[in-house]
Amino acid sequence: MTRALKIKKVLAFLLQVVFIFIAFVMQTSVLPIIPVFNCIPNLLLVLVSGYALVYGERRGMILGIIAGLLLDSFHSEHFGIFTMAYSSIGFSNGYFGHRVYEDNIMFRIYITAFSELAFNLMIYLIIFVFRSNFNFIYYFFSIIFPRVIFTCIFALLLSRYFMYVKKQVDLENYDAHKINKLKVKKDIEVI
């Protein structure tokens, strides 16, 4: 891998971290001002899920840890809950993304809906069940279901961005493969 490609990958990762931070600020300070149906979409989950589908489980888990630490440090009574939830979702989406991913918007929406559902169920089980609050039907229809819908809407809006990122990653991988192939060809000619 050339030095320029390494620098490009580091800059891409730093840009992703900046987007995570911007999504955190929007999710915690801008969107609560204008809630729709008393619900705020989970922008951090959309970004972690999208990047994990494109870059794989390791990058998804790292970005999930960053997003979770941001939420845990500023908005959590129990430190570590959001970090665990986002990192596990980032890892699982990255795992399935490399094996199943296609340039299909509906696939991204289904994965985001499932991730949001899993995220909210984890939070429900960890926070509310330990407090002996078992009103799951109310929690599902007043919090989980609207949140899944609005998060999927934001995932749909950001899907073009992730498709662009995926094409750039594919081009980088193609170029790196082409460069390695040329190096192997030169080595064979030298021998």
Which tokens go with 121? 């169920």
Burial of 90 (0-12, 13-18, 19+ CB in 10 A): buried
Which tokens go with 26? 């929007």
- Alpha-carbon distance of 56 to 94, in angstroms, equals 4
For helices 57-75 and 43-55, the axis angle rounded to 10 degrees is 160
Instruction: Compute CA distances 24 → 29, 79, 92, 117, 122, whole Å.
Output: 8, 17, 21, 19, 20
pTM value is: 0.80
| pLDDT at residue 115, as a whole number | 92
Which tokens go with 57? 């489980």
Collapsing DSSP states into helix, strand and coil, what is residue 182?
helix
Q: Any idea where the domains of the chain sit in the sequence?
A: 3-190
| pLDDT at residue 188, as a whole number | 53
| pLDDT at residue 175, as a whole number | 57
What lies within 8 Å, CB to CB, of 102 at 6+ separation is: none
| pLDDT at residue 39, as a whole number | 80
| pLDDT at residue 184, as a whole number | 47
Closest to 112 measured CA to CA, from 95, 90, 136: 90
Closest to 47 measured CA to CA, from 95, 93, 104, 101: 93
Are 64 and 52 within 8 A, CB to CB? yes
| pLDDT at residue 158, as a whole number | 81
| pLDDT at residue 83, as a whole number | 92
Q: Say which CATH topology domain 3-190 has.
A: Arp2/3 complex 21 kDa subunit ARPC3 (1.10.1760)
Mean pLDDT by 10 residues, the chain (191 residues): 75 86 89 77 89 87 94 83 92 82 75 91 81 78 88 84 74 58 51 56
Which tokens go with 138? 């109310």
| pLDDT at residue 114, as a whole number | 93
| pLDDT at residue 181, as a whole number | 53
| pLDDT at residue 126, as a whole number | 82
Which tokens go with 2? 């050339």
Which tokens go with 9? 């990958």
